[in-house]
């Protein structure tokens, strides 16, 4: 039901790697390490600044893909991959967008399901790609039926 | 200080066993990540979805797992981090985080990573490629 959305992009959205958000996120994953949250440790590090944990891009706004009307409930997260050119620095501005890479429907023992592949990207203010976040989302038959009804 | 660059094939990082998962852990993660899917925090919504109880966000466990590498950011950084979500984590589950070297080159170390329940079930499995600075 989302085949038509393959290749579609969202609008780009400006995000900031906010110090408070990084602190809260690091705490929520039980990883309040000085490299993430202590300003002095950040300055003294090879990065010259605090960095964000690798799964922090979960927090960013990636814009909307009009052709992709996902339900709010019932989605299953199957797989997640991050590729980085370098760690994210606290305070920097990142432009994020997302694209539908693929959509397929498969029939298995628990009925048919949709497999959606999304790729989020983050660029610095010079337009250099900093990270890609690939996500595989499984949409069960029950959820798809609910949407069509 | 122990370093990653001296690790050999088959060597492991010090594993970490998390305290039993609490509802507050998941409420905190929902707030910090912006993922408010109620199956992670509200019993009734989890039951409506056919689950025996609320389940942890897969990304909560994936986020936790990455901390095995946090002490080593002066040596390099996580270039690729790939995870398959294989099982559900419920309240009171005790999760152990593990990483083992499976491949090495001059500038990269690849680790098998997993989050394992006390039953031996791997709820997350994947790989982390650590890029080493020159």
> Which tens digits make up the pLDDT trace of A16-29?
999 999 999 999 99
Average pLDDT, chain B: 95
Q: Quick one: which of A91, A90, A80, A95 has its CA closest to A130?
A: A95
DSSP state of B53: S
Using CB atoms, pick whichever of B31, B35, B70 lies closest to residue A33: B70
> Which tens digits make up the pLDDT trace of B70-110?
999 999 999 999 999 999 999 999 999 999 999 999 899 99
- Contact check, Cβ <8 Å, A77/B70: no
Distance of CA A149 to the CA centre of its chain: 29
Question: Which chain B residues are within 8 Å of A81, Cβ to Cβ?
Answer: 80-83
Residue of A nearest to B16 (CA): A30
| pLDDT, position A120 | 98
3 state DSSP class of B67: helix
| pLDDT, position B2 | 59
Strands B122-132 and B108-117: antiparallel
Compute the 3-state secondary structure of chain B and give helix, strand, coil in percent, each to the nearest 5.
Answer: 25, 35, 40
> Which tens digits make up the pLDDT trace of B11-47?
999 999 999 999 999 999 999 999 999 999 999 999 9
Please give the backbone phi and psi of residue B26, each rounded to the nearest 5 degrees, phi first.
-80, -35
Distant-in-sequence, close-in-space partners of B78: CB < 8 Å, separation ≥ 6: A54, A82, A84, A87, B66, B69, B128, B129, B130, B131
Whether chain B has a CB inside 8 Å of the CB on A74: the answer is yes
Average pLDDT score over residue span A4-33: 98
Q: Are A17 and A91 in contact (CB under 8 A)?
A: yes
Instruction: Give the domains, in start order, of chain A with CATH numbers.
Output: 3-16+61-148 (3.10.129.10)
| pLDDT, position B13 | 93
Of residues A29 and A143, more confidence is placed in: A29
Percentage of chain A lying above the pLDDT 70 cut: 97
Q: Quick one: which of A138, A128, A130 has its CA closest to A57?
A: A130
**How far is residue B44's CA from residue A117's CA, in Å, rounded to a whole number?**
29
Give the bridge partners for A116, in sequence order: A103, A137
**How far is residue B112's CA from residue B128's CA, in Å, rounded to a whole number?**
7
| pLDDT, position B42 | 97
Sign of the CA dihedral running A64, A67, A72, A73: negative
What is the ipTM, given to two decimal places?
0.96
Instruction: Give the domains, in start order, of chain B with CATH numbers.
Output: 16-132 (3.10.129.10)
């Amino acid at each position: 039901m989302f085949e038509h959305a393959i290749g579609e992009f969202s609008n780009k959205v400006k995000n900031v790697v906010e110090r408070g958000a990084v602190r809260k996120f690091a705490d929520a994953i039980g990883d309040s390490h000085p490299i993430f949250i202590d300003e002095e440790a950040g300055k003294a590090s090879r990065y010259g600044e605090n960095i964000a944990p690798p799964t922090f891009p979960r927090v960013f706004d990636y814009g909307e893909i009009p052709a992709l009307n996902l339900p709010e409930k019932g989605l299953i997260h199957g797989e997640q991959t991050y590729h980085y050119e370098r760690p994210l620095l606290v305070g920097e501005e990142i432009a994020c967008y997302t694209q539908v890479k693929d959509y397929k429907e498969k029939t298995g023992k628990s009925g048919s399901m949709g497999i959606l592949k999304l790729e989020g990207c983050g660029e610095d203010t010079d337009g250099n790609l900093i990270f890609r976040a690939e996500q595989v989302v499984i949409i069960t038959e029950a959820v798809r039926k609910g949407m069509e009804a | 200080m122990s370093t990653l660059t001296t690790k050999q094939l088959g060597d492991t990082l010090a594993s970490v066993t998390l305290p039993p998962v609490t509802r507050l852990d998941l409420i905190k993660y929902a707030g910090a990540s912006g993922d408010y899917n109620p199956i992670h925090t509200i019993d009734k919504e989890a039951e409506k979805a056919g689950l025996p109880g609320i389940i942890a966000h897969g990304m909560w466990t994936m986020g936790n797992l990455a901390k095995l590498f946090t002490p080593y950011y002066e040596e390099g950084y996580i270039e690729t981090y790939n995870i398959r979500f294989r099982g559900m984590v419920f309240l009171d589950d005790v999760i152990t985080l593990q990483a083992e070297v499976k491949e090495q080159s001059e500038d990269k170390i690849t680790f098998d990573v997993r989050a394992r329940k006390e039953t031996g079930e791997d709820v997350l499995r994947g790989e982390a490629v650590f890029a080493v600075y020159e």
